[in-house]
Every structure is written in C-alpha cells, then in structure tokens.
Amino acid sequence: MTIERRKVLGWIAGACVAPAIAGVARAQTVPSASSFSFAKAGGGALPLAEYRGRPVLIVNTATQCGFAGQFATLEQLWQRYRDRGLMLIAVPSNDFGGQEPLEGAAIAEAARQSHGATYPFAEKTAVRGGDAHPFYRWAAAQRPAEAPRWNFHKYLIGRSGELVGGYAAQIDPISPRLVRAIGQELQAG
C-alpha cells in the first residue's frame, strides 16, 4: 500500500470518528487535491501538486463507452482554456461496464486517433469501490452525492486544491454549466 493511499485511508477512518468529537477542526486534517498523484500513461507521474494554483478537470474515461464522443469535446475545452491555466487529466477506468479494454499508452493513442485528444492521460485506474484511487476516495468523501456513477464523470478542482464540484457523465464538457464553473476558477486567480 502506498504512503498516499495509507494517508487517505487514515483520513477516511478519522472522518468516521470525527463526528463523535464535536467541535474538532476536521478541515485541518482533510488533504487537498494537491496531495494526490496519478501514474501517467506510458510512465512517469501526474502529481496534482504541480498544478497548484490552477483549476484542474479530472475525468474518468473509457474508449468503448457511449459517451466516448466527449473525448472530442474535452479536447475543445482543453484547446480553449489550457493557455489560460486549465489543466485537464483523463483517468481511464474499466469500472463501469468493462468499457476500457485497452491498457497504458494505447488508451491515449486510441483517443488521439479517434477524437483528437492531446491532453494528458493517466494509467487505467479504479475510480470506485475498495480499490479506488486515493483521489477518488477523497473526492467521494468530500461530495458523496457527486461520486462517479458512470464513465466520463468530471471533477473540477479549484485553484486552492478544493473540490469545486462533480459533474455527471451526461454533462458535456462544453456545457454552459461546466464552462461557467471553469471560467469562475480561471478568473479567481
């Protein structure tokens, strides 16, 4: 078990005890998104700490999903806002319907060839259940009602590392609701 995973599991366990201790300042023990890192497709890491001070959109993806067309609208979003500071990370997952048969860099290559995706891709990662990546456990603990229910769920992280919101698969990346939230984060800096 990685140090990062132990840290999050300890925080989650502490969150279960904390309600019994009224008045405890839990916010001081809650990590920010900057505490997490994803393995990068093809090797290396995508540490969220590198993007501190910038909004980050994290999207769990699957190349065989009916929402795979969102790879292209994510690219539109990326091209429109990356120079203004937005970071976008695709996190392939096979958790919903077994719709990600590919592995590693082949996922990013398939999305590039089929939909023109040029943004960074993490390695295929669990986003729900007991094996969920620590970031996804943290996000689910922050906003349980906004946890991923399918592929192409989007989490927007604010400039200070807080979870701004979760957006269901049905919300297109260039929807007014998501674009407005990203714009607010870009203007906040």
65 is an active site residue: yes
Q: Give CA–CA dist 158/85, Å, rounded.
A: 11
Q: Which two tokens stand for residue 87?
A: 């970071």
Q: Is residue 68 within 8 Å of residue 97, measured between CB atoms?
A: no
Task: Point out the catalytic residue in the list 65, 77, 108, 139.
Answer: 65
Q: Which residues are catalytic?
A: 65
